[in-house]
Amino acid sequence: MKTALIIGSTGLIGSELLNLLLDSNDYLKVITFVKRDTGIKHPKLTQHIINFDKPETYKDLVVGDDFFCTIGTTIKKAGSKEAFRKVDFEYPRQFAAFALQNKVKQFLTISSLGADAKSGNFYLKTKGEIQDFLKDCNFESVSVLQPSLLLGNRTEFRLGEKVGAFFMKTLSFLFLGNLKKYKPIESETVAKALLKIAQTNNKGFKIYESDAIQEIGN
């Protein structure tokens, strides 16, 4: 029986994943790292309320088997590019470093379709940079999931995503062949794929684009 660790457990994908992990017979313990008490109670759940900007206070707590990184924000929500980068690059990088030091075996993370460290788009560039960092880490397994536009019930309202999701879902029948990976995907499907991939005992570094995530998570 394994121990799962997760950051981003209150987000769109993370909240779905947390429920799956708590229900899974593969995990005896589930550890979350959060900014404030979520009020979630479960016999398998250990919740660490931390200051993400004080890594020395939690570095020894990152101990387990499988680390799931579902943390993420937007530049608009974060308020600046610098604040966005802190959430989407610095925090995952710090947790990955601690996980590696503490002998965590595999690291699974959510990225974005089109992520590339050489991209001219700051969002995709940042996502690509954390992917490159993880590729150089010596985990037994690193799995990077690159979903397309996410569908699901967010806690905050994002008008642009709502409009985009409506039109892309309406036109989803057009996403065939090489375009399949651009089809919108449910957050629950991504969470299920994360869990299934964690159970496959993969070795090395692997990227899963959205169409592969859809197939695995269904």
| Model confidence, pTM | 0.89
Contact present, 141 and 175 (Cβ < 8 Å): no
pLDDT at 194: 98
pLDDT digits (tens, 9 = 90+) for 163-173: 554 555 555 55
Mean per-residue pLDDT over the chain, rounded: 91
Tell whether domain 2-217 is in CATH 3.40.50.720. yes
Buried b (16+ CB within 10 A) or exposed e, 145-183: bbbbbbbbeeeeeeeebeeebeebeeeeeebeeeebbbb
Query: Residue 34's beta-bridge partner residues?
Result: 49
**Residue 125: count of CB within 10 angstroms of its CB:** 16
User: What is the domain partition of the chain in residue ranges?
Assistant: 2-217
Residue 187 has pLDDT above 80, yes or no: yes
pLDDT at 46: 98
What is the spatial distance between Cα 17 and Cα 127, in angstroms, rounded to a whole number? 20
Matching residue, tokens 């690059």: 89
Residue 192 has pLDDT above 80, yes or no: yes
